[in-house]
A and B are shown apart, each in its own frame.
Chain A
């Protein structure tokens, strides 16, 4: 099997451009902060809820911002890893996102919700997954031991 370096490099460049355009949103659990990052993890937007400024617990703001940024980056990383794997893994095929009518910097759902991982849409397996039971999981001795009414060694 030969490695097509030029092709691999081209795919990496295309993937890089795609990740730069992708957007992922993360929110803090209390809803105070919301962050948007690119597929490369670069922070491009940050929104703080109006009520936090005059709330009784403004000190919650800092941790909320960190949580929102981390959540957004986690989403981006999950999607990015899957796409990178598709480029380098020869069992998978990767094709660039089709150029849609949407404005640059926006995905179909321009602001994906946190907790909903962006599906690596272009990733697909060529081979059918075959569910097999591993022999490691089988215990051939159990029945015999119960029948004989004795423990293992």
Chain B
């Protein structure tokens, strides 16, 4: 195979790999992670891109909390959901990277 041909196929391979990683990133960003709050308090949902999209709080359970403890529970819930989403996002990209044997 000539040098030019080799370069051409290498470029094609890189294009395909970049496209695969981009697709994985798009899919992972759309995935949602829902974190259940303790004590049937509710749940928070974030996307793989880290966007907070839903906070559901059970009105009945809410009455058992003070404003500060409710704030703390929601803060922890959002943080955990975002950490989980970020890990999943990284894992999705890593899976494609490993499959394509990228460094």
Q: Say whether B50 contacts A41, CB under 8 Å.
A: yes
Chain A residues near B53: list those with CB within 8 A. Answer: 66
Chain B residues near A61: list those with CB within 8 A. Answer: 55, 57, 62
Which of A41, A52, A65 has the most CB atoms of chain B within a 10 A radius of its CB?
A: A65
Which of B53, B56, B75 has the most CB atoms of chain A within a 10 A radius of its CB?
A: B75
Chain B residues near A65: list those with CB within 8 A. Answer: 52, 55, 74, 78
Chain A residues near B74: list those with CB within 8 A. Answer: 46, 48, 65
A37-64, CB under 8 A of B: which get 1 and which 0? Answer: 0000111011111101110001101110
Q: Say whether B66 contacts A43, CB under 8 Å.
A: no
Q: Say whether B59 contacts A59, CB under 8 Å.
A: yes
Q: Say whether B71 contacts A66, CB under 8 Å.
A: no
State the CA gap A54–B52 with chains docked (Å).
Answer: 25
**In angstroms, how far is the closest chain A Cβ from the Cβ of B83?**
10
Q: A21 near B: Cβ within 8 Å? A: no
CB contact list, B19-36 vs A, under 8 A = none
Q: Say whether A49 contacts B67, CB under 8 Å.
A: yes
**In angstroms, how far is the closest chain B Cβ from the Cβ of A64?**
9
Chain A residues near B70: list those with CB within 8 A. Answer: 48, 53
State the CA gap A2–B12 with chains docked (Å).
Answer: 30
State the CA gap A69–B64 with chains docked (Å).
Answer: 24
Q: A70 near B: Cβ within 8 Å? A: yes
State the CA gap A70–B71 with chains docked (Å).
Answer: 16
Q: B79 near A: Cβ within 8 Å? A: yes
Interface residues, chain B, with chain A CB atoms under 8 Å away: 42, 50, 52-57, 59, 62-63, 65-67, 70-71, 74-75, 78-79, 82
Known: A46-B74, A53-B70, A62-B42. 13 other contacts (CB 8 A): A42-B82, A43-B79, A43-B82, A49-B67, A50-B66, A53-B66, A61-B62, A62-B56, A65-B74, A65-B78, A66-B52, A66-B53, A69-B52
